[in-house]
Structure 1
Amino acid sequence: MAADDPNQGGGGGGFFASIASSFSTISSAMTKSVNGRLGYEGLQVINPEGGTQDAEEEAMKGRWKQEERDSYWKMMQKYIGADITSMVTLPVLIFEPMTMLQRMAEITEYSYLLDQADECEDPYMRSVYVVSWFISIYYAFQRAWKPFNPILGETYEMTNHYGITFIAEQVSHHPPMSAAHAENEHFIYDVTSKVKTKFLGNSVDIYPLGRSRVTLKRDGVVFDLVPPPTKVNNLIFGRTWIDSPGDMVLTNLTNGEKVVLYFQPCGWFGAGRYEVDGYVYDAAEEPKILMTGKWNECLSYQPCDKEGEPLPGTELKEAWRVAEAPKNDKYQYTYFGHKINSFNTAPKKVLASDSRLRPDRYALEQGDLPKAGAEKSSLEERQRGEKKNREMEGQKFTPRWFDLTDEISPTPWGDLEVYRYNGKYTEHRAVVDSLDTIEESDIQSTEFNPWQYEATFAE
């Protein structure tokens, strides 16, 4: 367990030691081989609930029709072992009507936790609230649908939520990279997002190379996050599901305090699935607060001694609980997910590069898969054309709202080029919001246009 790792400053034994040891005797989720005579030699189907179902029967479950599954497997098998982040054209069947930039904004749903952290006098409780905020996004991220890859120069804007202004931009196409900035009176959130993948046939490992930082405004305290990797299981065969086993490490860069939470891997019959436990440590790497819960339900905390045992006379208290979600939603969206996918969170006069305006995203939202596929191909072709024209003219793409810095941030999975918010969007927003000539119909009539060397937004 992470908290018992001497490199992480945990004690031996402790409150969670028995939990960790019980899982050490349980293997990973039940794995079944798809029968080779079907032409899928070596592929594995992992059933998180375990059971004794026939491997072939389990493999045929999921969102794919038989002919679609066969066709997709023929296309994908040549990529086994490769990073498929940006080199594979995927069918819209596996997409949700949202882009990666919008998914980045979903973390703001429970931003009241950062407001509480900023107002908190206890430094350890401040860490509890911040790490709870980072945990909260995993409920939304358990969706097995793939968001659209943003077009280079695409943006997403969000307002009307806890006083937050949020802007995200696709700053690189190869490799795919996004940057985002969110801010209200209590905090600043900055992220440079980049992932590395490894395609394994019926699953894909996703390694987060990004950098996420939160600055609390009252005292200027800065937190840095290193999340665990993620595995998407049963990508082609069986029911797709997601697991994120490993350590989440939140470091207070101002005073050296740290939070280490261990995401339990899913074991047989779902044992350990969703479970998270760990500690808040002081700068001397002694545990101060234990934390436990499930990333799809809630997270609780309790003061502890140097051995990691609960202090006498204290009790577990809840730091965060997931909000109620719609029942039987097609894409498993939360209410907030639907909100950020609408214009209810849009500012006056959205940028023409905004994700909401993408015709392929909108067509999928309306249930028109053929049109969504055609629009997606058209946008990708136009992106290739824009790149060709730019290179012919000797021009280099430069993001509008973020600047590439000289800083290189190390991560467990590779080095990351860091983009920094340049403040220009704040200036742009102030000018646009001062205009009183903008009508609500302007939003609906704006044509999607992320292309770098054309108008920022339709006049």
Structure 2
Amino acid sequence: MSFFSSIASSLSNFGSTMQKSVTGLLGYEGLEVINPEGGTEDAVEEAQRGRWKQEDRDSYWKMMHKYIGSDVTSMVTLPVLIFEPMSMLQKMAELMEYHYLLDLADECEDPYMRLVYASSFFVSVYYALQRTWKPFNPILGETYEMVNHGGITFIAEQVSHHPPMSAGHAENDHFVYDITSKVKTKFLGNSLDIYPLGRTRVTLKRDGVVLDLVPPPTKANNLIFGRTWVDSSGEMILTNSTMGDKVVLYFQPCGWFGAGRYEVDGYVYNEAEEPKILITGKWNESMRYQPCDMEGEPLQGTELKEVWRVAEAPSNDRFQYTYFSRKINSFDTAPKKLLASDSRLRPDRYALEKGDLTKAGSEKSRLEERQRAEKRIRETKNQQFTPRWFDPSNEIATTPWGDLEIYKYNGKYSEHRVAMDSSTNGEEVDLGSTEFNPWQFADLAAE
């Protein structure tokens, strides 16, 4: 047994004893013991029950040591065994599961309740963060399309590789959703700080209200040793840029023995920054609201009302997928004629979904090498990659973690989708037989 395994085993026994003692003393049963400092109490158990073998952890730990303190967003090649069979573009589409909350926000005449619905929508997406597998980084030019979900049309595209950036656009009869996604990371050894250096904007169609989001940072704990878990803590701010009212929600940090984990509390404020509605709940369960006075205390004669509850999830799913996560990977939410650059068609993703880690790893390496080859050709020709569905703009967004160049949806996908749908004439197309092709150059040898 390695040195790290020995230490982990000792800590595991100590942690188990401490859990029994503390839970017995406090009267809590089944309490999950979590070390917020990123300890290793479950390393051996995790290695035995997961795909991540202890010897792999030790080897990877030695390799990653040199990156401590660095931004590892795109500089590190990661082993396929820590991935889930989903691309980051699909993860962006997963935000649309509870889109009905944005529909309600658009229909709502009360400006403060409008923000209750909209902020609950943005809280709902954190349930997916419980999954500790890493999604695949999109290949430059990769896309993801989603239709057949509540009247929404969704398109996302990887618009930059260095730095990694994605752009997404969703729309239905009630809202327009636009995101330029970029993250900044800081590797801390056994944990990773993730700063959402991106911009998310929702436009509600009825009144033209524009909502801008600033999410809290996230931390992935016990990446190599211990039971991996993800936590978000800090402020989420959703601002009505049209009227000036806003929501400020505080995501509680996870303390020892899981204290405070998942908890979210805050208020809807009017333009004068006076509290109007209090919001409370847990991002893995439900959110509730109640009118309040100027001091933030609940108004007499009112009660907490539920605005959102997480949907029932499958039990014992291998990747902790929800039912909607499963749909994201299937062709159920795909148009009849799919773009060849779609994430579902990635051979590494598909191999991992089928449990073939060897093929998934080799396909991942092949795609990444093809991506590097195309980059070399562009540099030789002094060319820049041009996204297909999103255009770079002159707009620069300021975030708490730095400035961001905004990519804007150019409308061409909507035209393409109409043309593709009409060309199928109702015929069924074998989507699974389409070869994944996000490439700029059809024949590398000819270049």
Return the TM-score normalized by structure 2. Answer: 0.90
Q: Match for residue 387 of structure 2? A: 399
Q: Match for residue 58 of structure 1? A: 42
2:131 aligned residue (143, 146, 156): 143
Matches of residues 108-147 of structure 1 in structure 2 within 5 Å?
108-147=96-135
CA distance in 1, matches of 2:75, 2:256: 34
1:188 matched to 2:176? The reply is: yes
1:374 aligned residue (351, 362, 377): 362
- Give 3-state SS (helix, strand or coil) of 2:45's partner: coil
- Residues 38 and 49 of structure 1: is their aligned pair in 2 closer, same or farther, counting only changes over 3 Å? closer
1:351 aligned residue (316, 326, 339): 339
- Give 3-state SS (helix, strand or coil) of 1:431's partner: helix
CA distance in 2, matches of 1:176, 1:329: 30
* Alpha-carbon distance, 1:271 to partner: 0.8
* Alpha-carbon distance, 1:141 to partner: 1.8
CA contact (8 A) 1:248 1:260 kept: yes
Matches of residues 146-165 of structure 1 in structure 2 within 5 Å?
146-165=134-153
Q: Match for residue 242 of structure 2? A: 254
- Give 3-state SS (helix, strand or coil) of 2:115's partner: helix
* Alpha-carbon distance, 1:57 to partner: 5.1
Q: Match for residue 232 of structure 2? A: 244
* Alpha-carbon distance, 1:303 to partner: 0.2
Q: Describe the superposition over 1:11-34 as per-residue Cα deviations: whole angstroms up to 9, x where unpaired.
A: xxxxxxxxxxxxxxxxxxxxxxx9
CA contact (8 A) 1:35 1:56 kept: no
Q: Describe the superposition over 1:327-372 as per-residue Cα deviations: whole angstroms up to 9, x where unpaired.
A: 0111101000000110000002110000000000000000000000
* Alpha-carbon distance, 1:453 to partner: 4.2
CA distance in 2, matches of 1:394, 1:436: 38
Q: What number of residue pairs does the alignment pair up?
A: 417
Report % sequence identity.
Answer: 75
Q: Describe the superposition over 1:122-154 as per-residue Cα deviations: whole angstroms up to 9, x where unpaired.
A: 000000000000011100122111000000000
Q: Match for residue 412 of structure 2? A: 424
1:86 matched to 2:70? The reply is: no
Q: Identify unmatched segments of 5+ residues in structure 1.
A: 1-33
Q: Match for residue 451 of structure 1? A: 439
CA distance in 2, matches of 1:163, 1:103: 19
Q: Match for residue 27 of structure 2? A: none
Q: Describe the superposition over 1:178-216 as per-residue Cα deviations: whole angstroms up to 9, x where unpaired.
A: 000000000000000000000001000000001000000
What's the C-alpha RMSD, in Å, of the aligned pairs? 2.2
CA distance in 2, matches of 1:440, 1:454: 27
Q: Identify unmatched segments of 5+ residues in structure 2.
A: 20-31
Q: Describe the superposition over 1:372-422 as per-residue Cα deviations: whole angstroms up to 9, x where unpaired.
A: 000000000000111111222222101000000011101001111100000
2:165 aligned residue (177, 180, 191): 177
- Give 3-state SS (helix, strand or coil) of 1:60's partner: helix
CA distance in 1, matches of 2:40, 2:375: 45
1:383 matched to 2:371? The reply is: yes
* Alpha-carbon distance, 1:440 to partner: 2.9
* Alpha-carbon distance, 1:435 to partner: 1.1
* Alpha-carbon distance, 1:441 to partner: 3.7
Q: Match for residue 99 of structure 1? A: 87
CA contact (8 A) 1:264 1:276 kept: yes
CA contact (8 A) 2:266 2:280 kept: yes
Amino acid in the other structure paired with 2:42: E
Q: Match for residue 266 of structure 1? A: 254
Q: Describe the superposition over 1:218-277 as per-residue Cα deviations: whole angstroms up to 9, x where unpaired.
A: 000000000000000000001000000100000000011010000001112111000000
Q: Match for residue 293 of structure 2? A: 305
